[in-house]
Amino acid sequence: MRERYIFHLSFPVTDLHVAKHFYIELLGATIGRENGKWLDILLWGHQITLHNCPNEVLSPEQQGTRHFGIVLPWDEWENNIERIRAAGHSFLLEPKILKQGTPQEQAKFYLQDPSNNVIEIKAYRDFNKTLKQKDNAYSYALA
């Protein structure tokens, strides 16, 4: 079995308490380290550090195409939609399925956290064909 590597991402938020609530309550993150100025969360098996730096947060217009995201198994993607809707949270871009019925069929939606950070959550019907992988790269990523 191959080793699994954890991706780390760090970005500013306007209010650490509000960001913590969003990522934990809405997206199911767990708390790692925290010191009042920053907070580590574990989200979908990866480490994200939220820094309480309101002056560094960009407006949506300044962000351009900047975002981060995750590729989930199809059923988990659907489950996230149900959980987000049940929580009464709106989507930045409503869930949609693209290239339906083709080997590249994929699904996605976008969320925006309270600091305007954009999160893309997607799924591929056939991960290996869509991303041209020879082995089961998706299982490797989840192992």
- The reported pTM is 0.86
CA–CA distance, 116 with 101 (Å, rounded to integer)? 33
Residues 42-72: tens digit of each pLDDT: 999 999 999 999 999 999 889 888 999 999 9
SS3 readout for the chain? CCCCCCCEEEEEECCHHHHHHHHHHHCCCEEEEECCCEEEEEECCEEEEEEECHHHCCCHHHHCCCCEEEECCHHHHHHHHHHHHHCCCCCCEEEEEECCCCCCCEEEEEEECCCCCEEEEEEECCHHHHCCCCCCHHHHHHC
Q: Where are the domains of the chain?
A: 8-54+66-142
Given CA atoms 136, 138, 141, 143 in this order, what sign does their dihedral have?
negative
Mean pLDDT in residue range 6-17: 95
Q: Is the pLDDT of residue 141 over 70?
A: no
Residues 12-30: tens digit of each pLDDT: 999 999 999 999 999 999 9
User: Which two three-digit tokens encode residue 110?
Assistant: 């976008």
Neighbours of 25 (CB within 10 A): 11
Superfamily of domain 8-54+66-142: 2,3-Dihydroxybiphenyl 1,2-Dioxygenase, domain 1 (3.10.180.10)
| pLDDT at position 139 | 54
